[in-house]
Structure 1
Amino acid sequence: MPYQLLLTSLENGVFTITINRPDKLNALNTRVIEELSTAVEEVYHNPEIKSAIITGAGSKSFVAGADISEFLQLDALQGEELARRGQQMVFDKIENAPKPVIAAVNGFALGGGCELALACHFIIASETARFGQPEVNLGLIPGYGGTQRLVQVAGKGRAMQLIMTGELINAADAMQYGIVNSVVKPEELLDKAKEILSVINSKAPLAISRVIASINAFDHTQAGYDYEIKKFGECFGTEDLKEGATAFLEKRKPNFKGK
């Protein structure tokens, strides 16, 4: 089907989904979430698709977070619904896909972009990739599963530090922390992802789907994600969130007051 903000292609059973908002560093907005949901449905239901890659257009960014301009008008309940809708429509759907979905991170993977990469079954990164969950700079927390999935791959201590500081890390550090599987030169990124998937695609599809389901079942409960959604929504009832988002859009340092 035609998309406005995605580019898609299918070659040798590999379905490549490219988020195509390079002028906005491929930031997630409502339209991108809706189109990603539809594209991931294709992965589920199109028998010609054996596996998928999610990447970003251009050389600067995979996905540089969410579209902050959409945040300022939301209250606590609307913020909670934003997180729940995104998790159900895209992030949970990717993680539980019966076919391999890998992230090819070509630049900034920040906030919702880092969460999108973490929702994939594993991550291949270019040397130029940067990862981070900087939501605290907005008076916010990750809302698309970051507090849960980052712990699963990097451990509690690393996740605590990365999310509480909002610091960015490079691809080499992300690999050291267990977030990334491989780091390659930018021009080799998609070829490397396709090379790995060509091996996986040669295996028994029903066995692969059961590998995904079984690994996801390890120490994985919905309660943590639901709790994150609730706490994400609560942030939208604070003065700090409005100050953080406004400061971001005005390109100034926020003045948080703990209210």
Structure 2
Amino acid sequence: MELQTITIKREDYVSIVEINHPPANTLSSQTITELREAFQILKDDIDTHAIIVTGAGRFFVAGADIKEFTEAFGDYDAAFAMAEAGQALCDEIEQMKKPVIAAINGAALGGGLELSMACHLRLAAEDAVLGLPELNLGLIPAFGGTQRLRKLVDMPTALEMILSSKQVKGKEAAEIGLVQAAVKGDELMDTALTLANSLVAGKSMTSVKRALECVVQGADEALEHGLERERVKFAELFLTDDAKEGITAFVEKRKPDFKHQ
């Protein structure tokens, strides 16, 4: 499939997924489909160890394609399918076994903020605007926004942002825990690349993917189930060459030579 609204480029072991759907990088059905395709490509790419998602131009993602909403008036099944497609994209991103960072370069509204919340970590430009304005349209966030926002910020803050359609700048988003940090716009990509490299450089992807699985899946489970998975994944690593290499290198006081298997 030829990607028309998405570009992928790599810097070392970090792949950058850039949404390029002018004028506002809206999440049209085509863009959602292409993002899902892009993540499937990167999921199986052995040279991609971490992923950054960002937007081209002034926008991260300004929201869903409202024009497509008009086609679903009076059609429950069509509207349900729209929400289902957006949620599927966000679920696939969240379940990636490689760290995914949202570099929010501009407005991240509605589906755009929901997309960023599905990423494992978020950085924002100081002047970026983040919010869920769906109630102004007589709708609700439906790409996972009602669920993921309340996990990232406290319940009252989540309710205020959703019910009032309040928008926050990057700095305030960092203060409430919605993003990890807010930086100057011209420093955003360098900061994101530095963060991405810090997550995977010098590490075996065999352990990175298991750590992600334990944290992400454990977030929605009872503690006992999360601890069981942790034991299993820990034991699995002792069957890998990389764990043997990492432990041996530590004992021998040298850098490990991981093969990611």
Unaligned runs of 5+ in 1: 222-259
The two structures have a TM-score, normalised by structure 2, of: 0.81
Does residue 1:216 correspond to 2:199, yes or no? no
Q: Distance in 1 between matches of 2:63 and 2:132?
A: 9
Quote the residue 1:5 is aligned against. Answer: 5
The Cα of 1:22 is off from its aligned counterpart by 3.1
Quote the residue 1:66 is aligned against. Answer: 64
Q: Which has the higher contact order (CA 8 A, sep 6+)?
A: 1
The Cα of 1:82 is off from its aligned counterpart by 1.1
Cα deviation 1:84-107 (Å, max 9, x = unaligned): 12212x110000000001100001
The one-letter amino acid paired with 1:114 is L
CA RMSD of aligned residues (A): 1.2
Q: Distance in 2 between matches of 1:165 and 1:123?
A: 23
The Cα of 1:137 is off from its aligned counterpart by 0.4
Q: Distance in 1 between matches of 2:95 and 2:179?
A: 19
The one-letter amino acid paired with 2:21 is R
Identify if the C-alpha distance between structure 1 residues 98 and 219 changes in structure 2 by more than 3 Å, giving closer, same or farther. closer
Q: Distance in 2 between matches of 1:130 and 1:209?
A: 31
Quote the residue 2:93 is aligned against. Answer: 94
Identity of aligned residues (%): 38
Quote the residue 2:56 is aligned against. Answer: 57
Quote the residue 1:40 is aligned against. Answer: 39
Q: Distance in 1 between matches of 2:211 and 2:173?
A: 24
Q: Which deviates more, 135-144 or 192-201?
A: 192-201
Contact 2:129-2:169 at 8 Å conserved across structures = yes
Q: Distance in 2 between matches of 1:3 and 1:73?
A: 24
SS at match of 2:9: strand
Does residue 1:103 correspond to 2:66, yes or no? no
Contact 1:43-1:99 at 8 Å conserved across structures = no
The one-letter amino acid paired with 2:61 is V
The two structures have a TM-score, normalised by structure 1, of: 0.81
Quote the residue 2:177 is aligned against. Answer: 178
Quote the residue 1:242 is aligned against. Answer: none
Extract structure 1 runs of 4+ deviating beyond 6 A. none
Contact 1:43-1:97 at 8 Å conserved across structures = no
Q: Distance in 1 between matches of 2:9 and 2:210?
A: 26
Quote the residue 1:195 is aligned against. Answer: 194
